[in-house]
Amino acid sequence: MSIGELSSKQLKLYIGQHHEKEFVLVDVRQPEEYQNGHIPGALLKPLPELVQTLDSLPNDKELVFYCHSGGRSSAAATMMEEEDLTNRNIYNLQGGIMAWDGHMAPDFPSICVFEGQSTVQMLKTAMNLEKGAQRFYTHVREIYGLEDWSDVFAQLAMAEMAHAKAVYRFWKKEIQDDIEPFDSLYKTITGDILEGGISMQEALTMLMPTNTHSGMRILETALKIEVSAFDLYRSLANQLPDKAASQTFMTIAQAEKGHMRELINAISKCPA
Query: Domain coordinates of the chain in residue numbers?
Result: 4-99, 111-269
Interval 187-205 mean pLDDT: 85
Q: Is the pLDDT reported for residue 223 higher than 70?
A: yes
Please give the Cα distance from 55 to 44 (Å, whole number).
Answer: 15
Q: Output the pLDDT for position 91.
A: 97
Please give the Cα distance from 166 to 160 (Å, whole number).
Answer: 10
**Catalytic member of 28, 47, 50, 67:** 67
Is residue 67 part of the annotated active site? The answer reads yes
Interval 89-112 mean pLDDT: 87
**Residue 51 exposed, middle or buried by CB count within 10 Å (0-12, 13-18, 19+):** middle
Query: Which of 265, 258, 266, 267 has the alpha carbon at shortest distance from 17?
Result: 258
Phi-psi region of 197 (alpha: psi -120 to 50; beta: other; left: phi over 0): left
- Separate counts of helices (H) and strands (E) for the chain: 11, 5
Q: Output the pLDDT for position 266.
A: 92
Please give the Cα distance from 262 to 226 (Å, whole number).
Answer: 11
- Asked which of 54-68, 79-93, 208-222 is least confident by mean pLDDT, the reply is 208-222
pTM for the predicted model, two decimal places: 0.79
Sheet (strand 43-44) strand order: 4-6, 90-93, 62-66, 23-27, 43-44
| Three-state DSSP state, 174 | helix
Interval 254-266 mean pLDDT: 92
Q: Output the pLDDT for position 272.
A: 60
Sheet strands (E) in 15-161:
23-27, 43-44, 62-66, 90-93
What is 111-269's CATH topology?
Answer: Ferritin (1.20.1260)
Please give the Cα distance from 67 to 17 (Å, whole number).
Answer: 22
Q: What is the pLDDT of residues 18-64, one digit of tens each?
A: 999 999 999 999 999 999 999 999 999 999 999 999 999 998 999 99
CATH class of 4-99: alpha beta
**Residue 197 exposed, middle or buried by CB count within 10 Å (0-12, 13-18, 19+):** middle
Query: Which of 113, 108, 114, 53 has the alpha carbon at shortest distance from 80?
Result: 53
* DSSP-assigned letter for residue 181: P
Q: Output the pLDDT for position 191.
A: 93
Please give the Cα distance from 87 to 19 (Å, whole number).
Answer: 18
Query: Which of 130, 253, 129, 259 has the alpha carbon at shortest distance from 197?
Result: 129
Cα 73 to chain center, whole Å? 22
Residue 126 contacts residue 160 (beta carbons within 8 Å): no
Residue 66 confidence class, pLDDT cut points 50, 70, 90: very high
